[in-house]
Amino acid sequence: MIVPGYRDHPTEPWDPDAPVDPGEAEDFLRRCYTENPRLGPVEPRLAIVRAQIAATGTYVHTPDELTHGARMAWRNASRCIGRLYWRSLLVLDRRRARTADEIYSLLVQHLRTAGDGQIRPVISVFAPAQPGRPYARVWNEQLIRYAGYRTEDGHEVGDRRLRDFTTAVRAFGWQGKGEAFDVLPLVVETPADGIRLYELPERAIREVPISHPEYAWFTELGLRWHAVPAIANMRLTIGGVHYPLAPFNGWYLGTEIGARNFADTDRYDLIPRVAARLGLDTSRESTLWRDRALVELNRAVLHSFELAGVRMSDHHTEARRFVTHIDNEAKAGRPVPADWSWIVPPMSGALTPVFHRYYPEMDLRPAFYLDEEAAALAREGRRRCPHR
C-alpha cells in the first residue's frame, strides 16, 4: 500500500555503530511538528538537529519530541490491538539514569506508576545508544515473568517459555522456589556495572488469583497471573535515535493469559487439566473438549481480574475499539499498519470484527523492534554470538 507522505522502512538489523540517519531525523521531526502545532515551526529545529548530527553523529530529543515519538511508536505497532489509546501513553523521561541501581529503582517506580488496579499505559525511556558505545539493557522479555523448571522426574513446573532463562539466572546465583509462579529477578546490564540481578519487591508485583464464576474447584488449580504486562527488551527508535532500554506496559487482554499463557502447550499447557476437571469427553477431538475448556479458562481469567478490580479487556470489546481506532486514523489521514495474525484474537477470531478485513502491512517509524540479540538474551539468558 502506498500512502503519500509515508515512507516505508524495510526492517534491517540495527547497526549500533552507525551514526543517526539525518533523513530519518528530518522525516520524524516534520511529522512530529505537523501533528503538534503548539511546538512551533520545524525549520529552526531542523537546522539545530542537522548541525548536532554533523558534529556528534547523533542528536538529543526535546522532552516533547520524546513524548510524541514514543506515542507514535505505539501508534505504529502493527501487532497491537490496543492502539486506540496511543495518545494517553505516559512517557517517563529516564535518560539521565546510568547505574544499575538507578535503573532498577526506576523500573520499580515504573511498575508502581502503571498501578495495581486502574492500570495505565506507561513507558520509561532510558538513555539512547550513542553510536559505537556500549549501552544499558535489561535481559528479561518483560519486567514481570514467571520462572520455568523441569523437575528431576521430568515434570514441567511454571512457565516453560522461561525455562532456559531460569536456568541461566540460577547459574548467576538466583534461587527460585521451584514453584509454578516464581517471579524472575531482573537482569540489568550496564556499561558501568556489568550484569546485575535484582529481585522485584512485592509492592511492585500485583497479582490476581484465578477463580471461576461457577466452578469453585477452579481455585484448586492454584493459578495466578500478574496484572501488568511490561515488555522490557524492545528497542524504541525515534527519528534515527535508538533507545535500547525503553520498557512499556499496557493492560491485559484476557485471551493473552487465558488462550495463550495458560493454554499453549509450550507455556502452562492447562487445557487437558481443565477439561479433566470439567469431566469432558476427551476421547475424540470432535467433542470439542479443547474449545470448551478454553472458554471456561478464559471466563475464569476475565472474572478474576474483574473481581480483583484490575483493569483487563475482553477480545470482543477491544476488537471493536480497534476498528474505532482505524476510523479515527482514517479521519486524520493516516494508515493503520497491522499484522492480521496478531490482531485477530487467539480464540473466536471470526466473532470479532477485526477478523473480517485485511490491513496494510507497513513498517512505519517511530517504532519498537525486537532485535535478535535481545530476543536470544530473553530466551536463553546468554548471548548467542560473542559480544563485541
252 binds ligand ARG (CB under 6 A): yes
| Interaction mask 48-87, ligand ARG, x per CB under 6 A | ----------------------------------------
Work out the number of other CB atoms within 10 angstroms of the CB of residue 13. Answer: 8
One of 25, 108, 125, 253 touching ligand ARG (CB under 6 A): 253
Q: How far is the CB of 161 from ligand ARG (least distance, A)?
A: 10
Nearest residue (CB) to ligand ARG, 241 versus 367: 367
Q: Would you say 68 and 36 are in contact if contact means Cβ atoms under 8 Å apart?
A: yes
3-class state of residue 89 by DSSP: coil
Our answer to whether residue 256 is catalytic in this structure is yes
> Residue 345: what residue type?
P
Residue tagged active-site, from 24, 26, 256, 318: 256
The count of C-alpha atoms lying within 13 angstroms of the C-alpha of 193, restricted to the half-sphere facing its C-beta, is 19
Radius of gyration of the chain, Cα coordinates, nearest whole angstrom: 22
Binding string to ligand ARG for residues 201 to 240, with x set by CB under 6 A, is what?
----------------------------x-x---------
Q: What are the grid coordinates assigned to 339, written together?
A: 499484522
Contact between 258 and ligand ARG per CB under 6 A:
no
Pair 212, 296: CB distance under 8 Å: yes
**Contact stretch for ligand ARG (CB under 6 A) within 2-10, 65-73, 159-167, 246-254:** 246-254
From the candidates 83, 161, 267, 365, give the one annotated as an active-site residue: 83
Options 26, 80, 311, 334, the catalytic residue: 80
The DSSP code for 295 is H
256 near ligand ARG, rule: CB under 6 A: yes
Residues 6 or more apart whose Cβ sits within 8 Å of residue 153: none
Contact region with ligand ARG (CB under 6 A), list: 254-262, 263-271, 302-310, 321-329: 254-262
Q: Which three cell numbers stand for residue 145?
A: 515473568
- Minimum Å gap between C-beta 251 and ligand ARG is 6
CA-to-CA distance for 236 and 242, rounded, in angstroms?
6
Q: Least distance in Å: CB of 225 to ligand ARG?
A: 8
Q: Does 144 bind ligand ARG (CB under 6 A)?
A: no
Q: How far is the CB of 159 from ligand ARG (least distance, A)?
A: 10
Is 80 labeled as catalytic in the residue annotation? yes
Q: Shortest Cβ contact with ligand ARG: which residue? A: 250
Question: Hey, how many other C-beta atoms are within 10 angstroms of the C-beta on 363?
Answer: 15
Cβ proximity to ligand ARG: between 185 and 258 the closer is 258
Parallel/antiparallel/unpaired status of strands 241-243 and 248-249? unpaired
> Which one of 67, 190, 237, 261 is in contact with ligand ARG (CB under 6 A)?
261
Min dist. Cβ of residue 261 to ligand ARG (A): 5
d(CA 241, CA 57): 10
250 binds ligand ARG (CB under 6 A): yes
Kindly state whether residue 124 participates in binding ligand ARG, applying the rule CB under 6 A. Answer: no
Q: Give the residue from 169, 117, 162, 119 showing the smallest Cα distance to 142.
A: 162
**Any idea what DSSP says for residue 242?**
E
Site string for ligand ARG, 323-342 (x = CB under 6 A): --------------------
**Category of 360 on φ-ψ map: left (φ > 0), alpha (ψ -120 to 50) or beta:** beta
Shortest Cβ 146–ligand ARG spacing (Å): 10
Write out the binding residues for ligand ARG, residues 291-330 only, by CB under 6 A.
none
32 annotated as a binding-site residue: no
Q: Which is nearer to ligand ARG, 33 or 251 (CB)?
A: 251
Q: CA triplet 353, 262, 225: central angle to 5 degrees?
A: 100
Determine contact, residues 174/147, Cβ cutoff 8 Å: no
* Ramachandran sector of residue 304 (left: φ over 0; alpha: ψ -120 to 50; beta: rest): alpha
Which one of the spans 90-98, 177-185, 238-246, 249-257 is the region binding ligand ARG (CB under 6 A)? 249-257
The answer to whether 385 is a known catalytic residue is no
Distances, alpha carbon 116 to alpha carbons 43, 202, 208, 251, 338, in Å: 43, 12, 10, 10, 29
The rounded distance, in Å, linking the Cα atoms of 348 and 331 is 29
Residues annotated catalytic, as ranges: 80, 83, 251, 256
Q: Which residues are annotated as a binding site for heme?
A: 80
Q: Could you list the residues that contact ligand ARG (CB under 6 A)?
A: 142, 229, 231, 250-253, 256-257, 261
